[in-house]
Copies of this chain bind each other. A is one copy, B any other.
Amino acid sequence: MRRPKRLILNAFSMNCVSHIQQGLWVRDDTRQLEYAGLAPWLDLARLLERGGFDTLFLADVMGLYDTFRGSGDTSIREGMQVPANDPMLLIPAMASVTEHLGFAFTASVYQAHPFTFARQCSTLDHLTGGRVGWNIVTTYLPNAMENLGLDDLPDHDGRYDFADEYLEVGYKLWEGSWEEDAVLADRTRRIYADPAKVHRIDHVGPNFRVAGPHLCEPSPQRTPLLFQAGSSDRGREFAARHAEGVFVITSRTALAAGTGPVPDIRRRAAALGRNPDDIAFFQGLSIVVGGTEAEARAKEAAYLEQLSTDGALAHLSGALGVDLGAYDPDAPLESFRGQAMQGVVRGLLENAPSGTRTFRDLMRANMAGQFLTGTPEQVADALVEWGEAGIDGFNLVYSTTPGTFVDIIDGVVPLLRERGHLEDGYRPGPLRQKLFGAPRLPDRHPGAAYRRRPTGPASS
């Protein structure tokens, strides 16, 4: 008998009022209005660890979605990813009340100098005992670039070239600056570290000059676990090169047919010399659980009823770079296919249900199409099927927080454990070790090439 596939559970949230499902913050069974304080995050972290989740993934933006109707007004009115506080700063507090839960956060390669950012990642990896992941993004919101003084948005592929160099600087600092045995912490000889084993990186590239050495000694994972969600051709190439976790929106049909992002990125990774099994793919899903199927459907119907169309349009317009407020929602989708399309939206279009012909249909699909609704048994069955189709884990969007996660933990997780798809406890060690078996980048990952061979007599 085949061993059941271990599935990875990732809770998806953001340090803001309204993240993916717009308009539900008004419900009295969700804590979204408390986002700015520590309390809901400490509670969420404790809950997710009790429930055996692998990671909490915090999305982020560096600007306003201001495409819809030519302004950010709808986003502000809806709390639609604005206000949006920094995600990284939630992690140390959540780490202090958990032992195993991983924390991934989004940060754009344009928001901070790589020396400053690499140091923050290392600090987080130290503070959490190696439980940190970074979701690499190349900012696409025009307002984000205006906020950072980069109004002339570099072209899409150019941004990935910039990101490649940003990662190169990171790898040099994380992997190459401090040798494994540089730190002695020898009280008797009064030597903290051996200067012969701490190296400048002297990076010089088109975008950055960084001398080093890294200011941080090696952390449990060195390089944080790397996530990515790019869906364009160049984005998939970038993911294939760097990512260890990839967020996708695909379908079981596409997976069965060997199409869509999953097999494509695995093929690209192999072509780049990586082991394609060193990448885990996470399908985005909105799970709605009820004691009976009818109860679950009623819950879903209530969410759909309360979802904000304006909020969804503002979100989608920004993601598409197209003001959907200026278009007839009943115009055929084909008229927009030539436009630049981002991440989730591109995936949505590619996997839109067969009845999807207009933007109004797509919006409905955006709001409803990702719902996975049913009894705990039905949901668990579906997750197992996703796993059998080739998905490694799930990026779980909330309708209410922490309600959606409570329902999954109380209803679905015990079934997945019974069936052997989740372990009862956590594996030991840092996040990368829990998910992939070893705490450091695998040898065939490009970051590993920046490691130094050990020098000197203290090395073995």
Contacts and interface: CB of A to CB of B under 8 A. Distances in A.
A37 B215 contact: no
B85 A126 contact: yes
Given A147-B212, A187-B28, A195-B76, A89 B92 contact: yes
B215 A42 contact: no
Interface in A31-74: 33, 36-38, 42, 61-64, 71-74
B116 A79 contact: no
A38 B192 contact: no
A190 B73 contact: no
A394 B211 CA distance: 36
Interface in A73-124: 73-74, 76-79, 82-86, 88-93, 95-97, 111-113, 115-116, 119-120, 122-124
Given A76-B195, A192-B17, A192-B77, A215 B92 contact: no
A217 interface: yes
A426 interface: no
Interface in A133-163: 143, 146-149, 151
Interface string A215-227: 1110100000000
Contact of A116 (B78, B111, B209, B308): B111
A187 B26 contact: yes
Residue among A38, A42, A127, A209 with max Cβ neighbours from chain B (10 Å)? A127
Interface residues of A, number: 78
A79 B193 contact: yes
Contact of A126 (B23, B25, B37, B151): B37
Interface string A3-24: 0000000000001011000010
A79 B96 CA distance: 26
A213 interface: yes
A211 B79 contact: no
B210 A63 contact: no
A429 interface: no
Nearest to A143: B211
B79 A192 contact: yes
A198 interface: yes
A15 B123 contact: yes
B95 A36 contact: no
Nearest to A208: B149
A340 interface: no
A209 B149 contact: yes
Given A120-B89, A149-B210, A211-B143, A115 B192 contact: no
Interface string A178-193: 0000000101101111
A390 interface: no
A442 interface: no
Contact of A62 (B124, B148, B215): B215
Contacts of A23: 190
A89 B195 contact: no
A239 B111 CA distance: 28
A96 B88 CA distance: 15
A112 B114 CA distance: 10
Given A28-B187, A37-B126, A89-B89, A64 B96 contact: no
B127 A37 contact: yes
Nearest to A149: B209
Interface of A: 15, 17-18, 23, 25-26, 28, 33, 36-38, 42, 61-64, 71-74, 76-79, 82-86, 88-93, 95-97, 111-113, 115-116, 119-120, 122-124, 126-127, 129, 143, 146-149, 151, 185, 187-188, 190-195, 198, 208-213, 215-217, 219, 308
Given A38-B95, A83-B217, A85-B127, 11 more contacts: A18-B192, A33-B185, A37-B127, A38-B92, A62-B116, A73-B195, A84-B216, A89-B91, A111-B116, A112-B116, A143-B211
